[in-house]
Structure 1
Amino acid sequence: MKERENVLSILVETVKAIERGDWSVIKELSNQTINTASLTQDADNVAVAVIIYSIGKILERGNYKNLPGWKPFYQTVVSSLRRSIDDIKKNNDEGFRKDFEQIRKALGKMSGKLKGYIQEVFEQAKVNKASRIYEHGVSMEQTAKLLGISMYELAEYSGSTGIANVKGSRTMTTKMRIKLAEDIFG
């Protein structure tokens, strides 16, 4: 895992925000993680960004709290996040990954409307965070691979959001690169 202290800080703040019910802070923490994930292209950072963003989206929908299966799901999320914090402190990357897998597995124990909603949020979060990594200049192929989505899904989402048109996400033409190299090296 890269940027261990950053991930640790984000997870600690996420647990605090969950306890306060501050969903906007959770989404902002996810965005901070995606910036790091873009720079390091580290799968653990990407997983943190997707899970944290998904948790924020799920928890902000108060009407699901009354559905069957909600309480065990919520308890699994919070306890897994707390364990992941301890695992990072102990440099136990494998334990950290298992904790995050527990959050994903909690979905399998859900049923009905809640399960469908949570699965949809996780899938949308992957595509959303992939588009943000792509926006930071990581290739579409590498981004899709990091998040386990197809390049088609990423291209479709990026095209619909205008991310592909953001100046920072355009690559230089060969002529532009040659000109830049000539300007730098004289």
Structure 2
Amino acid sequence: MNVKSNDSFDNRDILCPYCKGKLTVSAHCISMPCRHCNKHINVKEIIFPSDQKQISSIGKRRVICFKCSREIFTDEKAQAVTCQHCYNRNDLSNHKITTLLGKNLQTYGTLHLKKRGKIEISNILVGNAVVQGRIQGDVFAMDTVEILKHGEICGNITCRKLIVKKGGTFSGMVEMLDAGSN
């Protein structure tokens, strides 16, 4: 009698958290180096996540890292979060600009550009933008761009929703994001 043991029940397919390479490992494996990127992987933590990682996501905020585009979870009241993959600091706070700003701006919060505020840079990446002042540059908003009376944007806009109130001006091109995209 030829009995063949089926070990496929003890094997699991996982993804390397660093390079996203697919690996087949034993369910009894604790740790190992990735075959693709040679970085150390805690296999036990991937197959059997700790209770702390299984906590409900109530009060959690999901953002995508500005630098490496990987998913980050943080408290919804956090003002900033450091990416655990590339160690980039991601700003989550709101910004109120009342004077001249001449540097790049990246935040998942809301940009409030007041009437006398002026931004002269090439790229602005924000969650939302409310513009009463003047922006000379491209605006990428995850959600809404609202140009109020006296507000002016000279550049391209990428957003889900664009509102131009009476007295607001815009010159450039608009690209609308899908409602479900990130």
TM-score, normalised with respect to structure 1: 0.24
The structure with more strand, counted as a fraction of residues: 2
Q: RCO (CA 8 Å, sep 6+): is it higher in 1 or 2?
A: 1
Give 1 or 2 for the bigger CA radius of gyration. Answer: 2
TM-score, normalised with respect to structure 2: 0.24
